[in-house]
Amino acid sequence: MASQLPKATPSRFYELIERTLGEMDFAAQVWELCRPAYAEEAKGGRPGIDPVVYLKMLMVGFFEDLPSERAIAARCADSLSVRGFLGYDLVSATPEHSSLSVIRQRLGLEIYQQVFELILGALRAHGLLKGRHLGIDSSVLEANASLRSLCERNTEESYWKYVQRLAAEAGVDPEDVEAVRRFDQKRPGRKVSNQQWVNPHEPEARIGKTKDGATAMLYKPEHMVDLETGAIVAAEVLPGDQSDTAQLSERVVAAGVTLAVVMPEEPAEKLVQSATADKGYFALEAMSELQQLGIRTVISDPQRGKRRLERLSKEERAVLERAQRASTSKSGKSLLRQRGQHLERSFEHVLDEGGLRRASLRGRVNLTKRYKLGAAFYNFSQLLRKVHGIGTPRQWLAGGRRRWAALFTPLQKLMGDLQRAFASWQSSSRLTRTFWAA
């Protein structure tokens, strides 16, 4: 009976992934990184899930746009192709979603960073990492939390109870749900601030606006991208209300440290020569800190033309002039264009096509772990595209259609030529018959 069962074999796309991982010696390096998190079996340690399998499962989630660990576990259990990729046959049990949660908590954040650096190193080996010019931007990530669960920070009164109390004071029946909702929408001074309200189930999430303008509980993912290659060199999940300029220089320095680890042969002065961002990242203090580190700041001043220069110190005017000169130069404008191209693309793939636009986990540390891997897998897709010409399952399918089109195009051309020749022959035959009939 077992011989009659279908075999679990990876699809062509996952075969390419497996081959590329093998060339990187991915499994051995991951095990070496994760070894401190596991006790030896001889000392009573219980065999856990292979961390390589765990990372492969999350890779499946990224490439197939699966937002939750439950969805990832279900896909891995149901698909013969994915089973083959993970190394499981048809009758073996794949890890459940609860097991993914256990191993996520077992592995510290530093291990996720090391896995991220491992894939960056593979990009470096294929010429896909330069590290000289960084582009910076942030987006929004919807937290796994609801506005309905908000509580007042000091009194712990729920938002609904608070609105009911205000409605009663205004003469509205607090038991009439629709009337209370209408009152809340129209009451003057209606404002929900992070200083006053918090979600007790996700206290690190912040109230803010999504990309479509809706109010929700949010985090702020930030990317630093190599503007020459498009590789993500740093990915963090920040509080939703944190200013873009807050601790900017520290984050840029951290990205430089990552590049130094991945590219030890490069002189330090050749790494992070410039930082390019939009106007939201401009602050004189942040520009000064970056420029003191020898980093060119290609960031436009949102107050240009309105700033009172006479109120600035000599040092501040010098910082402002260097930033304006960099952002208006030909090379600066080129970097700004590249920033828009590479950063928008990275957010599109990681958030909207990688299953991470809306969080299924809670807590900034958990989200950062998952997000770092999402950024790492995006970089890995860049490597796949360089080595094999495709970076996603969708591109593989599109490539298949192109191959079929390439196969049938000559045949279609031949059929068209034959039809035109036949039509020409018919036309000449009619002319010949007409001539002889005359």
Q: Tell me the C-alpha to C-alpha distance, in Å, between residue 23 and each of 16, 297, 389.
A: 11, 38, 16
Lowest mean pLDDT among 73-77, 180-184, 198-202: 180-184
Q: Residue 387 falls within a domain, yes or no?
A: no
Question: What's the pLDDT score for residue 412?
Answer: 62
Do 229 and 337 reside in the same domain of the chain?
yes
Q: Across the chain, what does the average pLDDT equal?
A: 87
Locate tokens 């001043």: which residue?
301
Domain end among 364, 385, 409 = 364
Q: How many CB atoms lie within 10 A of CB 210?
A: 15
Highest mean pLDDT pick, 38-47, 130-139, 405-414? 130-139
Q: Looking at residues 272-300, what average pLDDT do you find?
A: 95
Q: Which is more confident, 289 or 184?
A: 289
d(CA 206, CA 219): 7
Residue 135 pLDDT exceeds 60: yes
Do 139 and 156 reside in the same domain of the chain?
no
Do 161 and 221 reside in the same domain of the chain?
no
d(CA 369, CA 349): 17
d(CA 45, CA 184): 56
Q: Looking at residues 292-305, what average pLDDT do you find?
A: 92
Do 135 and 157 reside in the same domain of the chain?
no
Do 260 and 162 reside in the same domain of the chain?
no
Question: What's the pLDDT score for residue 43?
Answer: 66
- pLDDT above 90 covers what percent of the chain? 61
Count of structural domains within the chain: 4
Do 302 and 360 reside in the same domain of the chain?
yes
**What band does 90 get if pLDDT is binned at 50, 70 and 90?**
confident
Residue 74 pLDDT exceeds 80: yes
Residue 428 pLDDT exceeds 70: no
Per-residue pLDDT reduced to its tens digit, 321-331:
999 999 999 99
Q: Are 327 and 298 in contact (CB under 8 A)?
A: yes
Q: How many CB atoms lie within 10 A of CB 70?
A: 15
**What band does 49 get if pLDDT is binned at 50, 70 and 90?**
confident
Do 172 and 225 reside in the same domain of the chain?
no
Do 44 and 131 reside in the same domain of the chain?
no
Highest mean pLDDT pick, 175-179, 240-244, 370-374? 370-374
Q: Residue 57 falls within a domain, yes or no?
A: yes
Q: Residue 380 falls within a domain, yes or no?
A: no
Question: What's the pLDDT score for residue 330?
Answer: 95
Q: Are 252 and 134 in contact (CB under 8 A)?
A: yes
Joined tokens for residue 169: 């004071």
Lowest mean pLDDT among 50-59, 185-194, 417-426: 417-426
Residue 426 pLDDT exceeds 70: no
Q: Residue 373 falls within a domain, yes or no?
A: no
**Helix 51-63 / helix 364-388 crossing angle, nearest 10 deg:** 80
d(CA 76, CA 90): 11
Q: Looking at residues 105-110, what average pLDDT do you find?
A: 94
Q: What is the 3-state secondary structure (H, E, C) of the chain?
A: CHHHCCCCCCCHHHHHHHHHHHHHCHHHHHHHHHHHHCCCHHHCCCCCCCHHHHHHHHHHHHHCCCCCHHHHHHHHHHCHHHHHHHCCCCCCCCCCHHHHHHHHHHCCHHHHHHHHHHHHHHHHHCCCCCCCEEEEEECCEECCCCHHHCEECCCCCEHHHHHHHHHHHCCCCCCCHHHHHHHHHHCCCCCCCCCCEECCCCCCCEEEECCCCCEEEEEEEEEEEECCCCCEEEEEEEECCCCCCCCHHHHHHHHHHHHHHHCCCCCHHHCCCEEEECHHHCCHHHHHHHHHCCCEEEECCCCCCCCCHHHCCHHHHHHHHHHHHHHHCHHHHHHHHHHHHHHHHHHHHHHHCCCCCECCCCCHHHHHHHHHHHHHHHHHHHHHHHHHCCCCHHHHHHHHHHHHHHHHHHHHHHHHHHHHHHHHHHHHHHHHHHHHHC
Q: Residue 386 falls within a domain, yes or no?
A: no
Joined tokens for residue 281: 């990242």
Per-residue pLDDT reduced to its tens digit, 156-175:
899 889 898 989 988 889 88
d(CA 325, CA 298): 8
Do 140 and 156 reside in the same domain of the chain?
no
Question: What's the pLDDT score for residue 435?
Answer: 41
The model scores a pTM over 0.75: yes
Question: What's the pLDDT score for residue 186?
Answer: 84
Instruction: Pick the closest to residue 233 from 134, 140, 141 (CA basis).
Output: 134
- Residue type for position 188: P
Residue 398 pLDDT exceeds 80: no
Per the structure, the complete domain to which residue 403 belongs is given by: 396-423
Q: Up-side HSE of residue 284: CA atoms within 13 Å toward CB?
A: 14
**What band does 414 get if pLDDT is binned at 50, 70 and 90?**
low
- With a CB cutoff of 8 Å and minimum separation 6, the contacts of 297 are 274, 275, 287, 290, 291, 322, 323, 326
Locate tokens 């930033």: which residue?
323
Q: Which is more confident, 216 or 411?
A: 216
Question: What's the pLDDT score for residue 436?
Answer: 43
Do 133 and 247 reside in the same domain of the chain?
yes
Question: What's the pLDDT score for residue 407?
Answer: 43
Q: Looking at residues 93-116, what average pLDDT do you find?
A: 93
Q: Looking at residues 425-437, what average pLDDT do you find?
A: 53
Joined tokens for residue 1: 């009976």
Q: Residue 260 falls within a domain, yes or no?
A: yes
Per-residue pLDDT reduced to its tens digit, 57-71:
999 999 999 999 999
Question: What's the pLDDT score for residue 278?
Answer: 93
Q: Are 95 and 76 in contact (CB under 8 A)?
A: yes
Q: Residue 163 falls within a domain, yes or no?
A: yes
Residue 52 pLDDT exceeds 90: yes
Using a 10 angstrom Cβ sphere, with 0-12 exposed, 13-18 middle and 19 or more buried, the burial of residue 267 is exposed
Residue 5 pLDDT exceeds 90: no
Do 93 and 131 reside in the same domain of the chain?
no
Do 338 and 230 reside in the same domain of the chain?
yes
Question: What's the pLDDT score for residue 406?
Answer: 42
Q: Residue 91 falls within a domain, yes or no?
A: yes
**What band does 4 get if pLDDT is binned at 50, 70 and 90?**
low
